[in-house]
Amino acid sequence: MEKQKDVNTKKIVKVYIAKKNTWYDEGSICALIDDYRPQSTCGLFFGWRTCDNPASESRLFGERHLDEEVCSFDEFDVEEFEGNNGKEC
């Protein structure tokens, strides 16, 4: 007999919030694209950044843009929420 899937199972959703003086804008929510743990303490993230070095970023100083970067997990506060597994709220 095939085991039935528990439709009431909650999924844990992690939200990564950039800390002060890190690559991404402080307080911005970033998406984890790829987790390199356990080989590393880093992951590939995607989020909002404000240009502070036009020469290396090829952007105007102060320009806010979406960016992808490998960062340490220490650069983020992590909050966890229970998802509803795709069901309506």
Query: How do residues 31-52 score in pLDDT, each as one tens digit?
Result: 999 999 999 999 999 999 999 9
Q: In what order do the strands lie in the sheet with 64-72?
A: 64-72, 42-50, 29-35, 12-18, 76-82
Determine the Cα–Cα distance for residues 15 and 30; give it in Å rounded to an integer. 7
What is this structure's pTM? 0.78
- Band of the pLDDT at 19, cuts 50, 70, 90? very high
